[in-house]
């Protein structure tokens, strides 16, 4: 628990309590991160511009001395956080929730995230997986997302229970030492048993602020390998192996290749998606995007052991496949 000592200051009336400086002692789990990132995490609701202003002005001190925004915290550091007045707002009540756990130890928590649940709050979402897990585990000293999944994607989601584990796994992902694989149902007459898609991707925002991705020559290099698992009359069950980890990579690579993901409401066949929501004589209903993170391989950040974890295909996706009948291959 951080030690907090209010700084002596002028008396204030009970109706208008003045904010006070805090002195926070850095724990082992907090050590190693940059001071700006630390402040952004603990000063929720404070604009980034204000955080960097108080850093530049010297109002933030570490061990009574001035530091810059690149300073990395050390265990035992005492950080002075100046008085910051936050605008009053209604506190969001986060309902605690436990998800299906695939793996857990003192360093990692791996869950099977259901479709339709955001991984974190923001952009019109009051709370997500991380906020719900923290509410369910109030005694957890540290719990952070290692990576993200789209709201409509189900499957394996890694969370770190120690900062050292978070840093290690981020390094593995950055250096290409992890292997992430997804199951997805593509629309159309897929031909190849194994197909590489290399299309550069660029992020942009729509006029209403929605995040989108498009194929662009000036985008970031992106590479997905698709393997055909089962072929149906109008669909193909594929395993997608990520060689890079760009936003919406699988979705855009398939849509741009002429094989959109069934149920994809951003890049898919919108007329077909609407039709799929109701069962007909040839198949059942599909009311979600058919994209599931089913396997991940990485090195355990503490033991160094190679780990491969799997999450079974979501039940609603499995039911839809069964409704399609016997595969053609």
- Alpha-carbon distance of 38 to 32, in angstroms, equals 10
Q: Say yes or no to pLDDT of 274 above 70.
A: yes
Task: Show which residues are catalytic.
Answer: 150
Cβ neighbours of residue 220 under 8 Å, at least 6 residues apart? 200, 201, 202, 244, 246
Output the pLDDT for position 88: 47
Q: pLDDT class for 120, splitting at 50, 70, 90?
A: confident
Query: What mean pLDDT comes out for the span 262-281?
Result: 96
Q: What token pair was written down for 66?
A: 């001035």
Q: pLDDT class for 27, splitting at 50, 70, 90?
A: confident
Angle at 221 between CA 215 and CA 225, to 5 degrees: 85
Contact 7, 60 (CB under 8 A): no
Q: pLDDT class for 20, splitting at 50, 70, 90?
A: confident
End-to-end CA distance of the chain: 58
Q: What is the 3-state secondary structure (H, E, C) of the chain?
A: CCCCCCCCCCCCCCCCCCCCCEEEECCCCCCCCEHHHHHHHHCCCCCHHHHHHHHHCCCCEECCEECCCCCECCCCCEEEECCCCCCCCCCCCCCCCCCEEEEECCCEEEEEECCCCCCCCECCECCCHHHHHHHHCCCCCCCEECCCCCCCCEEEEEEECCHHHHHHHHHHHHCCCCEEEEEEEEECCCCCCEEEEECCEEEEECCCCCEEEEECCCCECCEEEEEEEEECCCEEEEEEEECCCCCCHHHHHHHHCCCCECCCCCCCCHHHHHHHCCCECCECCCCCCCEEEEEEEEECCCCCCEEEEECCCCHHHHHHHHHCCCCCC
Which SS3 state, helix, strand or coil, does residue 1 take? coil
Q: pLDDT class for 86, splitting at 50, 70, 90?
A: low
DSSP bridge partners of 308 = 297
Contact 262, 185 (CB under 8 A): yes
Q: Say yes or no to pLDDT of 180 above 50.
A: yes
Query: What mean pLDDT comes out for the span 275-299?
Result: 96
Domains (range + CATH), the chain: 22-81 (3.10.290.10), 100-160 (3.30.70.580), 176-323 (3.30.2350.10)
Output the pLDDT for position 321: 97
């Amino acid at each position: 628990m951080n030690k907090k000592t209010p700084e002596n200051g002028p008396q204030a009336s009970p109706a208008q309590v003045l904010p006070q400086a805090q002195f926070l002692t850095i724990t082992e789990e907090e050590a190693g991160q940059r001071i700006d990132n630390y402040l952004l995490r603990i000063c929720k609701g404070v604009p980034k511009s204000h955080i960097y202003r108080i850093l530049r002005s010297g109002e933030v001190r570490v061990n009574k001395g001035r530091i810059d925004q690149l300073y990395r915290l050390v265990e035992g550091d005492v950080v002075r956080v100046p008085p910051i007045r936050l605008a009053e707002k209604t506190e969001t009540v986060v309902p605690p929730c436990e998800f299906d756990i695939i793996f857990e130890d003192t360093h990692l928590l791996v869950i099977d995230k259901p479709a339709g649940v955001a991984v974190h709050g923001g952009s019109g979402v009051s709370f997500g997986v991380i906020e719900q897990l923290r509410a369910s585990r109030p005694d957890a000293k540290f719990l952070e997302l290692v990576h993200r999944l789209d709201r409509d994607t189900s499957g394996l989601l890694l969370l770190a229970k120690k900062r050292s584990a978070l840093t290690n796994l981020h390094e593995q992902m950055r250096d290409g030492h992890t292997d992430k694989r997804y199951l997805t149902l593509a629309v159309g007459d897929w031909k190849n048993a194994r197909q590489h898609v290399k299309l550069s991707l660029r992020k942009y925002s729509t006029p209403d602020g929605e995040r989108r991705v498009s194929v662009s020559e000036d985008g970031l290099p992106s590479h997905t390998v698709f393997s055909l698992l089962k072929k149906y009359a109008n669909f193909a069950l594929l395993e997608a192996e990520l060689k890079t980890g760009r936003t919406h990579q699988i979705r855009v690579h398939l849509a741009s290749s002429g094989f959109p993901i069934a149920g994809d409401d951003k890049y898919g066949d919108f007329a077909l998606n609407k039709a799929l929501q109701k069962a007909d004589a040839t198949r059942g209903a599909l009311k979600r995007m058919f994209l599931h993170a089913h396997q991940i391989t990485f090195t355990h950040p503490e033991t160094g052991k190679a780990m491969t974890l799997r999450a079974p295909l979501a039940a609603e996706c499995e039911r839809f496949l069964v409704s399609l009948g016997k595969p053609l291959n």
